[in-house]
Chain A
Amino acid sequence: MLRYCFALMLIVSGNAWGQGDMASITAGEYRPLYLSADSPVISVQSFLLDKQPVTNQEFQSFVSQHPKWQRDAVPALFAEKAYLSHWVENAGQYGPQAGDANKPVVFVSWYAAQAYCQAQNKRLPTVAEWEYVAQASPSRIDGSQEKGYNQKILDWYAKAAKQAPGEVAKDEPNYWGVHNMHGLIWEWSEDFNSSLISGESRDDSSVNKDLYCASGSAGAINPSDYAAFMRYGFRSSLGAKFTLNSLGFRCAADGQP
């Protein structure tokens, strides 16, 4: 997949992707389940990432150009019944309710998210890319040690998803100029199901011991581990056609800043 995108990049000039809405992320490293001193460091190449999650309005314009992704047209193989179930019918077309235009699109499957990104010569970010950007605070590439960083994340995880998310980009952007990495929605990633976390969390230490040395909770001393655990746990509960009321996405693209 990466190679495929790279090939595309040679053909299409970088500026064609509307980079104004994308942040340039410089290459770097991060620790999965950071703060576990023994976990391996993952390097992330430079790439571009949407500054905000894809909104209902943006997704609607995609659907109007690609009607096979309309709510009543999508094959059951590619999205569950709840797909775009928060949209309403208007003159034979489904679209977001009034006031929802700038809210992140949710109830979308991985297939739909991937199709959206591909339609713009983009792709979904990898877990590594997403986590790398997510550890930034407003002032630092790695803000995970800052006071209040983890509490904010945990507070959101602790709230049930009873209400629709608010509008995008209402929060302070992080170091990269990226909004809403935490506190608004869960987000799809390209390789969401590669975590090798099985449903039996206590057995995971033997599935991929190097990456998840703390999965049996040994060594998970810092609460921030728990925020990461939750994201990994959440991702591994998903199937590609799942559509959830708190799950949306944003796109990424290969690129040299």
Chain B
Amino acid sequence: MGNFKMKVLVSMVSAALALAACAQVTEKSASANKASETVSASKLPVIQAVLTQAPNVPPPITRKYAAKVVVHMETQEKVMRMADGVEYMYWTFGGQVPGQFMRIREGDEVEFNLSNSPNSKMPHNIDLHAVTGPGGGAASSFTAPGHTSTFSFKALNPGLYVYHCATAPVGMHIGNGMYGLIMVEPKEGLPKVDREYYVMQGDFYTKGKYGEAGLQPFDMEKAIKEQPDYVVFNGSVGALNGDKAITAKVGETVRLFVGNGGPNMVSSFHVIGEIFDRVYVEGGKLENRNVQTTLVPAGGSAITEFKVDVPGTFIIVDHSIFRAFNKGALGMLKVNGPEDKIIYSGKQADTVYLPEGSATQSIANPKSAESTKPLTKDEQVALGKNVFENNCLACHQANGEGIPKAFPPLAKSDFLNADHNRAIGILLHGRSGPIKVNGETYDSVMPAIALNNDQIANVLTYVLNSFGNNGGQVTPAQVETQRKAAPPVANNEHG
């Protein structure tokens, strides 16, 4: 609505100016400033756009004048990793999901050159939500493989905008990863911060279930039913985890440019253990303060800013929480620096609480398909890593060292290495009551994890061959044997 009004206004103003110019020369000086903003593109200084891949963001804009910004972007179709052992044919802007981040200034004139790789099977185009005009540039940028389309637009409204492919079938082009962000900075610029990052959520629909290995084709029916197998940040499971986590130091202010490509899911964007000091709601001008979770619509954005006060790993999630722990919508911000025990003490006590009637819990899991051909140890390790990250990592930690006094270590674990069958039994049936691991006593509950025989064999083989353990291999047949055996009495002692 604002755009339409503005356009009408602009044409009225320019008409008025034209009349005024004929009649009265003195009017000119009053509108000189405005005129300098609307000079033809050829008179503006020409700047090549800096494009970055997530999670990086181009540097803030320091110039105080409008420019003609030239953008070159290439659409590419390529197979990349969706999760460990899982590949997907992504359609991309610039070879990665999300597409390259663009940063321009309000009033800039953009010359956009969209090239479609000669190796593409499909035509592509771009609809930039920052464009005021029919289709957001889609029709003007419709490009066959091996061609380049050029169009220009003027950035009238500041804000953080999504761009995406709008070629038929639109849902499939977006669903395959064709989206990204463009920041139109307001003329006065954004407040200075210490760190800026680019995080964009998207949902994916694959023939196979979450984690099912191999090159997974797009599943149209799931997409129409809006039942994603994957909901991820920055294009794949774990794209912001471990050594790919984004980082900051204690005391710094972090700004996240958050987008959501969809195609279907709306994000409840949340950073566990942080409060957003400031959110530019939906990527616009409205500022909200002290926000825990901000909604990011599909095809929308938000800018969040927060000061990090204490060190540690802060987990970035879509707080529609099953997406975080079962579909991949989980990233990490690692903060280094001195602790502040007043702001956050860490764990101060842990005592057993075991009321009457409590028993080992069981997490139900539908029986997943089991493979038929035997795997090599290396294959088992590779697949088991994935199982570990989805089921075990939350408690036993990425390095397998567990949490002191709460979750026993799997790293260099005497308890684990001593008896593989016991380990199988614990995964099958859960475990409660005190155990001694590496000289420390742990008295907590592990629920039975309802994995299939393959998954249990793979994850144990992975753990046995990781974290400084003694090696070895667990086969699905071993698991089957244990599954048939009665669960150990120890598990029932509180039942």
Contact = CB atoms under 8 A, between A and B. Distances in A.
Nearest to A238: B144
Contact of A199 (B120, B138, B147): B138
Interface in A189-217: 197-204, 215, 217
B37 interface: no
Interface in A203-257: 203-204, 215, 217, 220-221, 223, 225-226, 229-230, 232-234, 236-239, 242-246
A225 B220 CA distance: 10
A7 interface: no
Interface in B409-447: none
Interface stretch (B168-176, B269-277, B483-491): B168-176
A204 B134 CA distance: 13
B221 A245 contact: no
Contacts, number: 110
Contact of A203 (B78, B118, B135, B144): B135
B264 interface: no
Contact of B146 (A82, A203, A217): A82
Contact of A217 (B147, B167, B169): B169
Interface string B69-91: 00000001111000000000100
Please indicate which of the listed interface residues B147, B167, B218 has the most CB atoms of chain A within 10 Å of its own CB. Answer: B167
B222 to A, nearest CB: 10
Contact of B119 (A154, A226, A245): A245
A234 B169 contact: no
A63 B220 CA distance: 43
B144 A226 contact: no
Contacts of A226: 169, 172, 220
A199 B119 contact: no
Given A217-B171, A237-B142, A245-B146, A201 B166 contact: yes
Nearest to A204: B168
Contacts of A243: 146
Contact of B169 (A198, A221, A230): A230
Contacts of B119: 160-162, 245
A245 B121 CA distance: 9
A230 B122 contact: yes
Contacts of A94: none
B220 to A, nearest CB: 4
Nearest to A82: B146
A232 B122 CA distance: 11
Contacts of A229: 168-169
A158 B89 contact: yes
B122 A234 contact: yes
Contact of A246 (B139, B145, B169): B145
Contacts of A245: 118-119, 145-146
Contact of B218 (A158, A203, A246): A158
Given A217-B171, A233-B122, A160 B138 contact: no
Interface residues of B, number: 36
A62 interface: no
Interface residues of A, number: 39
Contacts of B167: 199, 201, 233, 237
B260 interface: no
A157 B121 contact: yes
A87 to B, nearest CB: 16
A200 B133 CA distance: 12
A159 interface: yes
Interface in A37-83: 82
A104 to B, nearest CB: 15
Contacts of B169: 201, 217, 220, 225-226, 229-230, 233
A89 interface: no
A175 B119 CA distance: 31
B118 A154 contact: no
Interface in B199-252: 217-218, 220-221, 224
Contacts of B140: 199
A237 B146 CA distance: 11
B491 to A, nearest CB: 46
B168 A215 contact: yes
Contact of A237 (B118, B143, B170): B143
19 contacts: A82-B146, A154-B220, A157-B121, A159-B121, A160-B77, A160-B78, A160-B79, A160-B89, A199-B140, A203-B139, A220-B169, A220-B224, A226-B169, A229-B169, A233-B168, A234-B144, A237-B144, A243-B146, A246-B121
Q: Which 8 A-B pairs have the closest CB atoms?
A: A199-B142, A237-B123, A201-B168, A199-B139, A223-B220, A200-B139, A200-B135, A160-B77
Given A203-B135, A223-B220, 10 more contacts: A158-B217, A160-B76, A161-B118, A199-B140, A199-B167, A201-B166, A202-B138, A226-B172, A242-B146, A244-B145
